[in-house]
Every structure is written in C-alpha cells, then in structure tokens.
Structure 1
C-alpha cells in the first residue's frame, strides 16, 4: 500500500525544518493541500524544505508544492531545498520551472468603429473570391475525372450510375409532371384572358407552345432538380465527409471525385434532358385540356394549331439548355457537400447554399441563353 504523505515541522537552531515524507500522489491532493495550508510559519523566518524522505512525487503534487513556495515568498519567508532522489528532484524542477505562456491580448473593437467596418468589408470581399477560386479548382478536378472515365470507361461504376438515374430521374417524374401540367393550365387561363380582349383566343396555343417548350419546361424542371436532387447530393456528401468516409477513400487510394462526384453529374446530364421532354409534354397536355374547356378547341384542332405554332428551334432551344443546367447543378451540389465541416449545422448551411446557388446559376445561364438565341435569331 502507498505511504500517506506527511509534513513534519522541527526546529534546528534558527531554521525551521519541514520534512516531507511518504508518497505524494494525485489522489492525496486534498490531504496535501490541507496539511500545507495548516502550517503556521512566522514571517521573515528561515525554512528548510527536506525532500529526502519523499518516496514518490507526481506533477499534481509538485504543483501544490510550487504554490506553497510562492506563498512563502509573499510572506517574505526565505527557504532552502534539501534535495531528495534524482527522480523526485527532476519532477520538482520540471514543474517549478514551468511558466505558462500568457494568453495573447485581444483588443476589443467596437462593432461601430471604422476598423470593424473595414474588417467586415474586407471579409465580405475576399470570401466570395476565395470560394470562386476553390470552385474553379474543383471544376478542374471534375473535368480531369470525366476525361479519365472517357479514356477508360471501365472506371465508371455503372451500377451506381443506374441507381442515381433512378433516384434523380424516375423518382422525380410525379412532381415534375404535376408542376408542368398545372403550369400549362395556368398559361392557358392567363393567356386566354388577355387575348380575349383582342379576339385572338386561338393564339393562346402559340403562347403555350413557345412558353412551355422554350423556357418554362426546362426552367421549372431545373429548379425542381436543384431543390430536390441538388440538396440530396450535398447532404449525402456532407455526412460522408463528417463520418470520415471521404478520408477513408483517400487512405485506400481511391479518388472521391471519380467515385462520388462524376457519377452524380453524369446522372444529371442523362436525366435532365429526359425530364425536360416529359415536362414539355405534360405542360402541353395540361394546356390542351384547359384550352378545350376555356376556348372550346378540340384535340384535333389543338394538335394542328400546335404544330403550326412550333418553329424549327422551338423545342430544341429548351433541350439544349438541359445538359448545361444539369452540369452546374451537380457541380455546385457536390462542391458544397465536400466543403462541409464541423457538424450537422454545417450540413444544413451548405445544403441551403447548394440550392440557392444552383437556382441562381440556372437563372443566370437561362438569361445568357436567351440573349444568345436572340442574337443568333433562333
């Protein structure tokens, strides 16, 4: 059994001898603290602290002894150390000579000061630039990953791609079809109400065809995919990042871009044009039904007028946009997912950013395509 720590006080001529003995261990700290604080030493006396009888001294007990020596200095009591075994003295000197570095002083800046304002504006300016550079680097990595798969198609995980196509495409058919159908109905009702004033209700079919096929079909489908599949991509990759599954792939020598990112983007590239075509058909069906009840145009007349109103590029201008929108929706979703760090709050933050940035890019590129098609005359 360990020997209990003891403190014995004796007088030798003008000196007070404090003889420490026993084993000074962490679990005895309350007892050690009590014995040291109970010592009543006269001011300006001379004390000899004898460590020769100490059998064991750990760092916690040595720290209490260091605090006791500081107390003696405050009371102007001079002391000398009678050394014990080399092990005991090594521990004592290590603790006694240790001086923790002071915490750096941080100046409190007022939230309304000029320095705070400049600091805030600097961060607001540099943060988007930093994100843009990271996104460009990520775009390069994805491009390299796609080139590798084009050169070596066997590197593509076909089963994963088919599963993603099912989740992104087939599972999205109901919501995309319902939204497109209702948009077709709304376009006919709103268009017919305005054109009736000029006696041109029949041109509602032209309005429906051009609006659905050129713009609304692809735009609404891309927004639904960005909110549905883009957020799912971000959340999946984010939790994989938190669970250190991405790090495990690096350790195994597997490129996460090639395994996780490229199949997801390829799935969107395949699915979004098909979903756009389905959305166009559902919008026309919804518009045709609304036209029958509102204007009285039968299915045969509707089909004939629809064929006359569709130009050479009316359908393809919408479909051409789909792969571009798909690529950037998948790119943003995977990029934000791999930026997740910390915890669940970060997953929510980057998922929101993914949806917002994806929809923003879809609208930006849609406007750019509109200007391009207008310049080309198509």
Structure 2
C-alpha cells in the first residue's frame, strides 16, 4: 500500500521483506493536514516488524513529531532517535525530547468522589483547623507586641512619638465625624423605637434611661469598635501588606531595625488612645441624639432629660462601657497588623488579607463584647 505527497509523504513498501515504511519530505505544520490523512490511512497495515527508513526525512517540527508518534509509537520513536545518526542534530534532539516527555507523562488517576456528608465534614474540619491556626498566630503576635512594648518603654530614646501622633490623627481625629454622625442617628432611632414601645405602657419617660443605658454600656463602644475594625484595621493591613509586597519590610530587617517596633507599636498605641476618646464622643452623640427625639416627640425638655440622667444613671455604667475600649483597640490593631505581615506579595493577597482583617476584627469585637456583657451582668455591675 502506498500513500504519498509531493511535500511530505509516508510510503509503505510491501514488496520487500520485511515491509519497509519510508518517511520522506518536510514533516511540518504546513503539511500537517495531508500527513494526518496519510498516517490515518496507514493504521493497521504495518506492525512492530516493519522497518522504518528516515533517510529522506526533511524538516521536522513539533507537529510532525506528534504525527510520527501516532504513526510509530513512543517507544519506536525513541529507538529511532538514537539510531538514526544520519538525521540532523536538531531533528534527533526534537524526537528525543518528544519521546522523553511521553515517557514522563502519566494520566492522573481520578480520585474517587466523596459523598456530600464527607465533604461537609471536611470543610468543617478545615475551617476549625484554620480558626485554631489563626488563634495561635494572633496569640503569638500579641505576645510579641507586648514584649516589644516592654523593651521599648525601657529606652525612651526609641519612642516614636511623631509616628504615634500621626496615627492618632488618622485613626482618631479623621474618624470623629463619621463616629459622631452614626451614633447620633442610632441614638435618635433607639429613642424613637423605645418611645413607641413604652408608650403602650404609659412609660415613655423611661426612654431617657433606655438611651443612656444602651449607649453608655454597649452601643457607643460597640459601634465605634466596629467602625474602627472596618476603617482602621483594613488600613493597617493595606499599609503593611503593601510594604511587604514591595519588600520594604525586608529592607527594614536588612538595616537591623525591628519591623514590629517601627510599624506595629505606633499603630497599636495610637489606637489605644484614639478608640477610648472616640467611644466617649460616641456616648455623648448617642445621648444627644436620644435627647433631641425626646424633646421633639415626647415633650421631655433638655433640662428634664439631664435631670433624669443625673438621678437614674450611675457612673459605673459609663465606666463599664469605657473600660472595654482599650481591649477592643488592642485587638483591632493587632489583627490588622498581623494580616498585613501575612501578605505574600501580590495585589490579590493584599485584598484578601484586608478583607480577612475586617472580618476577624468585627468577629473578635462582638464575641469579646458578649463575654464582657455576661461577666458584668453576673458581677452586678
């Protein structure tokens, strides 16, 4: 049987014994279509005893080599790559490369599909393990911050007051308008809803107590901490993460400086100062918002509102809310900085860890606030 093409051909000579397969012409991509038809036509008309003649083979590229693999098989092609010394070195090298790649290739085994229940349990286990690893990393980072803080406090010359003041402006002063506006509106909403419910019992006067208790103990510090988690923790992560991606932190270490001392401590100290001040502002704005609603809707004058505050609300409620602020501030700053140090080096990583820092900060703040509320309730404070 004979098939042939002017540019390239595969000729099977059945008149000789053993049968001889002659490969001639340029086996390149330009002749691929014609050669493909020829190789398909030759299937089944030769076997392993058929001799192969490559003496008339011209140019060869990867497309032609792939057709030779289909025609001869990978094992036979490897033998020819070693024995066909008359071929150009480039063609022999190409044949040898194709043979080696086929030898190294193996079809990946298909993993058995797991049941839905196993997949759900695997996801839960992975999430629990991630939570445990993140918790350990956060606790270790908190210890590192405290150790660095103690070491720096003993050396006043190493205090970075300029950086601390700059971060206080960014995290505290610049956030004051949004904190004040938000808590004012929430205070007005709480007073309005409280008055609507208490009016059914003829106890609208207790709207003053409701607003004062809720903002002094919970709402002011919680809303402020959540705002700081979304605004400040994300900023800390993005700033440190960008420095990590640009290898600036490696440069700091190369200079013999401590990144925790230079980058983390000023941010932690700034938030420790800013968050309690913002919490106090939130308490005032929330109570003022409730007072405005009481004056407009309930005919409770500002003088009566203040008098009820003085008679019914003890200072311990103010202290209960304010004492939680430094703990929230420390955790928010620590989580934001830690996620920044976890950035791997790409813009995608910066975005992912920024999102993670916000989620973790809000989660930790809410859990800690719930635990503190239960503790103060049991203590009767």
Query: What TM-score do the two structures reach when normalised by structure 1?
Result: 0.73
Equivalent position of 1:6 in the other structure: none
Question: Hey, what does 2:289 align to over in structure 1?
Answer: 286
User: 8 Å contact 2:75–2:99 — kept in the other structure?
Assistant: no
Give secondary structure in 1 for the equivalent of 2:315. Answer: coil
Q: 1:257 to 1:106 in 2, by over 3 A?
A: farther
Paired residues for 1:218-297 under 5 Å? 218-297=221-300
CA shift for structure 1 position 254: 2.4
Deviates more, 1:95-104 or 1:325-334: 95-104
Give the superposition deviation at 1:215: 1.2
| 1:315 counterpart SS class | helix
User: Pick from 197, 207, 211: which aligns with 2:210?
Assistant: 207
Given that 2:179 and 2:224 are in contact with CA atoms closer than 8 Å, whether structure 1 keeps it comes out as: yes
Corresponding residue for residue 336 of structure 2: 333
Give the distance between the partners of 2:364 and 2:74, measured in 1 at CA.
69
1:177 matched to 2:164? The reply is no
Deviations 1:150-189 (A, max 9, x none): 2223323222111111010000011000011112212222
Aligned-pair distance for 1:115? 6.3
2:139 to 136, 156, 166: 136
2:304 corresponds to 1:312: no
**Secondary structure in structure 1 of the residue aligned to 2:174:** helix
1:164 to 167, 172, 178: 167
> In the alignment, does 2:334 pair up with 1:343?
no
Moved more, 155-164 or 123-132: 123-132
| Ranges in structure 1 where 5+ consecutive residues have no aligned partner | 1-28, 31-42, 50-59
Deviation per CA, 1:100-149: give whole Å up to 9, x if none.
Answer: 5768656364575x765664454333222222222222222222222222
How far apart in 1 are the matches of 2:155 and 2:232?
Answer: 27
* Kept in 1: contact 2:184–2:286 (CA 8 A): yes
Counterpart for residue 190 of structure 2: 187
Q: Deviations over 1:239-292 (max 9, x none)?
A: 222222222223333222222122111111110000011111111222222222
Distance 1:295 1:75 in 2: 94
- Evaluate the alpha carbon distance shift between residue 165 and residue 47 of structure 1 in structure 2; reply closer, same or farther with a 3 A threshold: same
Cα displacement (A) at 1:210: 1.2
Tell me the equivalent position of 1:107. Answer: 111
TM-score (norm 2): 0.72
CA RMSD for the aligned pairs? 4.6
For residues 119 and 373 of structure 2, the distance between their equivalents in structure 1, rounded to whole angstroms, comes to 43
Give the match's secondary structure for 1:314: helix
* Inter-partner Cα distance in structure 2 for 1:329 and 1:245: 23
State the 1:355 CA deviation: 1.5
